[in-house]
Structure 1
Amino acid sequence: MKNKIIALFIAAIGLTSLNSCEDENFELTSPEGSFRITTPLNGESVVLSETTLTNPGLSITWSAMSYTTPTSVSYTVEIAKDGTDFAAPIELGTTTNLFASFQTGDFNLKCLMSGAVPFVQTAINVRIKATSGTTGSQPVYSNSITYLVTCFGCLNQYAVGQGLPQSGWNWNNPRTLLCDNGVLSMTADFLNGTNDTFRFFTTEGDWNTGRNYPYYSGLNYKIVSTLVNAADGDQNFRNTGVAGKYKLTIDSNNKTINIARRTLTSGNLDLEPTSNWLVGAATPGGWSWAGNNETELGQVDTGIFEVALELKNNDTFRVFLGNNGGDSWGLGDRNFPWYVNNGYTIDSELANAADGDSNFRYTGPTGVRLFKINSITKVITVD
């Protein structure tokens, strides 16, 4: 009987101790009230520059979030493209402070990942997520503000489709479009059958990130005429030029999509011998071969050369036949009289400059145009 009383006494002590532990270590806490972003103000803007990568791209402050029981609070800054309702937020960083600053280089990349359009002011939503304790529990979100961001550069993109025989409609071997300061490019084999279509994607493996022909035409891109809307239900791209290897370029700075035949199997594919080249004050690079100043007038189909480029009103240019990677003045050229003497019909917006070299003079309005030489029908057009 004595032993039984002792056992009951010990059990009672154990229950008391357990209740005491619950009171000390397992006291529940819950969010109390709300908190807000204080700076920047809704609608403020920033222009990001690659020349100041370590400068702040976003500096942000907010008020504190309270919980019913004192606890450590962590804050995570999240962004998302305006209109997405934070369906897939991108985290910038986490802190226990009530402020944070993010350098231009990293912030620019995160904005591009969220869907910001390079060199175009894009509305990005910003919010703060507060969590309690060391396990990041009980998330509470601040108000959301709109931050107007102009990004630079671009992210690599991808292309798949039956029209790209090395890829097909799967993600086993997508074609990668490499980014260089707003210009995406890839060299790939292209087919030209009725069902040989393809599409661009911003994220590898994600079918929901596709960009079809209407996406670009809706943004007023000038697209080389041999790349057409396949009208296949998904309105993909289709190449109507001869099947073969081409370099494709998407320039988001000037809103152009170009394609140029590639016949080289080794060496520098950027100096394609089947291409012509435009040099002159009317073209983006002026009268210079330095860097990439010359404009490739690529072969888009048999005997057809075409390029989308900005032409400047009342300025001149000439067609050159070769490019050796340096000053290529002596590799052959053709001026306005050469084409006239060889029976070409020339667009009314092009004239003989009568400048001593009889170059072409562009008389149309300054803007992005499609310049095309059809050496089969002997027609030169500007569209």
Structure 2
Amino acid sequence: MKNITKTIFALLAVLTIACNTDDVQDRPIIEGVDAPQITAPESGAIYVLSPGNESLQADRFVWTKANYNGDVVINYTLEIDNSGGDFSAPQTLGGTVGDLQLSVDEGTLNLACLNLGATPFVANNFDVRIVSDANGFSPMASNVISITVTPSGCLGQYAVGAGIPSAGWGWNSPLTLNCNNNVLTAKTDLINDAFRFFTTEGDWNSGRNFPYYQGLGYIFSSVLIDAGDGDNNFTFTGTPGSYRLKIDENKKTITVARSTVSSGFEPTSTWLVGAATPGGWSWSDDSETELPLISDNIYEVPVTLTSGESFRVFLGNDGGDSWGLGDRNYPWYINEGYTISAELENALDGDSNFRYTGPTGMRILKIDATAKTITLI
């Protein structure tokens, strides 16, 4: 009887193993077969992004379903990289679980392009692809389409170097320049030494030196020069002290403005108002042009001047119409013994304003209260 029982158990074990082996052999093999393909937009699409439109749809990206030869949950990720890039460090525009389309708003596209190093307000070329992923299987990448994006705005930047004592040449306490309406600003102490701007904190390879901005057509305060060192950093040559450092990506200027003086109070910049300046004869909507102190007794600003038109120097700005806060016209400077550029003359209007007679364009207006000169560069 015992032998019969053992025989029955052995037969059952054999049958069980045989059934399990057959089940495994009959089970379908799931594997990646066909990668997804982007069907919209078409390659060559162009996007011009605008401030204030961050929530608006830039485009809807559509693709075909990935084929994994089985019933699996598929995740899709929309990636963007610089034109010709290898997608080793792409930006992500979003993703879906199973859905075959994704709406991308302007803010998301704009930020991704800027993070890839795009120059604001300039057309930049990018590659876009969709990547499918199913748990336990290798990702599959789609075809690549090319798009052109003109981004707006800017990301915050950083500055380090011996010329900025609080930062030095390290990343323990970099100077942060915050961005607002495409203008980066920071208040810092400056001394006569070198520094450089960076787009990514802690990344030495993200540096932007003097020739970088020069190549983009930027104009600099005269106290900011090429250090002429191995990295062509910036060097500050003005009076050491506390300054506002500004990168204006709209006007393409990099300037400084003195923010403290020895007596301990915040000085008031002078201001240019008039038809020769971009804001015309108006104080509304920040139309006036700031003429800041860039070093002891030196006021300077890059400004677009219109030929044949006039302007006047004002001593104060209370945030509203500041006509009564004091001003200086052409005769005032002549009476004080100033030598004035031949491209500036007495307008001979009711207020004896300055008239600009040079060619219309960006100029650097400089008033040196020590040398008693008014020059145009």
When normalised by structure 1's length, the TM-score is: 0.89
Pair 145,366 (structure 1): closer, same or farther in 2 beyond 3 Å: farther
Pair 84,168 (structure 1): closer, same or farther in 2 beyond 3 Å: farther
Give 2:126's match in structure 1, choosing from 98, 107, 124.
Answer: 124
Q: Percent identity?
A: 50
- The 5-angstrom pairing of residues 34-183 of structure 1 reads 34-95=35-96, 96-132=98-134, 134=135, 137-183=137-183
Deviations 1:154-212 (CA, angstroms, capped at 9, x unpaired):
111111111111111222111111111111111111111xxx21111111222221111
Distance 2:15 2:51 in 1: 68
Kept in 2, the 8 Å contact 1:254–1:368? The answer is no
Structure 1: gaps of 5 or more residues: none
Give 1:341's match in structure 2, choosing from 330, 335, 340.
Answer: 335
Pair 15,83 (structure 1): closer, same or farther in 2 beyond 3 Å: same
Distance 1:321 1:63 in 2: 65
Pair 9,229 (structure 1): closer, same or farther in 2 beyond 3 Å: farther
Distance 1:175 1:14 in 2: 72
Kept in 1, the 8 Å contact 2:211–2:232? The answer is yes
Larger CA deviation: 176-185 vs 165-174: 165-174
Structure 2: gaps of 5 or more residues: none
Pair 122,18 (structure 1): closer, same or farther in 2 beyond 3 Å: same
Distance 1:21 1:48 in 2: 57
Pair 310,86 (structure 1): closer, same or farther in 2 beyond 3 Å: farther
Kept in 2, the 8 Å contact 1:222–1:369? The answer is no
Pair 4,235 (structure 1): closer, same or farther in 2 beyond 3 Å: farther
Distance 2:189 2:24 in 1: 68
Distance 2:171 2:22 in 1: 58
Given residue 310 of structure 1, which amino acid in structure 2 is its aligned partner? T
Pair 94,378 (structure 1): closer, same or farther in 2 beyond 3 Å: same
Which residue is 1:260 aligned to?
257
Larger CA deviation: 46-55 vs 154-163: 46-55
Given residue 109 of structure 1, which amino acid in structure 2 is its aligned partner? L
- The 5-angstrom pairing of residues 222-261 of structure 1 reads 222-261=219-258
Pair 20,167 (structure 1): closer, same or farther in 2 beyond 3 Å: farther
Distance 1:12 1:160 in 2: 75
Kept in 1, the 8 Å contact 2:35–2:132? The answer is no
Kept in 2, the 8 Å contact 1:44–1:148? The answer is yes
Distance 2:301 2:144 in 1: 44
Distance 2:213 2:72 in 1: 51
The Cα shift of 1:11 comes to 4.8
Given residue 114 of structure 2, which amino acid in structure 1 is its aligned partner? L
Distance 1:250 1:283 in 2: 20
When normalised by structure 2's length, the TM-score is: 0.90
Distance 2:171 2:253 in 1: 26
SS in 2 for 1:373: strand
SS in 2 for 1:138: coil
**Is it true that 1:284 corresponds to 2:278 in the alignment?**
yes
SS in 2 for 1:214: helix
Given residue 228 of structure 1, which amino acid in structure 2 is its aligned partner? I
**Is it true that 1:316 corresponds to 2:310 in the alignment?**
yes
SS in 2 for 1:31: coil
Pair 23,245 (structure 1): closer, same or farther in 2 beyond 3 Å: farther
Pair 138,276 (structure 1): closer, same or farther in 2 beyond 3 Å: same
Kept in 2, the 8 Å contact 1:221–1:255? The answer is yes
The Cα shift of 1:21 comes to 5.9
Distance 2:148 2:260 in 1: 44
Deviations 1:343-382 (CA, angstroms, capped at 9, x unpaired):
3222232222222111112222332221111222222222
Distance 1:7 1:161 in 2: 82
Given residue 112 of structure 1, which amino acid in structure 2 is its aligned partner? L
Given residue 321 of structure 1, which amino acid in structure 2 is its aligned partner? L
Pair 264,14 (structure 1): closer, same or farther in 2 beyond 3 Å: farther
Distance 1:156 1:21 in 2: 60
Distance 2:258 2:12 in 1: 89
Distance 1:11 1:350 in 2: 106
Distance 1:252 1:40 in 2: 30
The Cα shift of 1:313 comes to 2.5
- The 5-angstrom pairing of residues 170-209 of structure 1 reads 170-192=170-192, 196-209=193-206
Distance 1:6 1:198 in 2: 87
Distance 1:231 1:211 in 2: 14
Distance 1:131 1:356 in 2: 75
> How many residue pairs were aligned?
373
SS in 2 for 1:29: coil
Larger CA deviation: 288-297 vs 198-207: 288-297
Given residue 162 of structure 1, which amino acid in structure 2 is its aligned partner? A
Pair 319,66 (structure 1): closer, same or farther in 2 beyond 3 Å: same
Larger CA deviation: 148-157 vs 61-70: 61-70
Pair 152,11 (structure 1): closer, same or farther in 2 beyond 3 Å: same
The Cα shift of 1:274 comes to 4.8
Pair 321,36 (structure 1): closer, same or farther in 2 beyond 3 Å: same
Given residue 106 of structure 1, which amino acid in structure 2 is its aligned partner? T
The Cα shift of 1:109 comes to 2.2
Given residue 131 of structure 2, which amino acid in structure 1 is its aligned partner? K
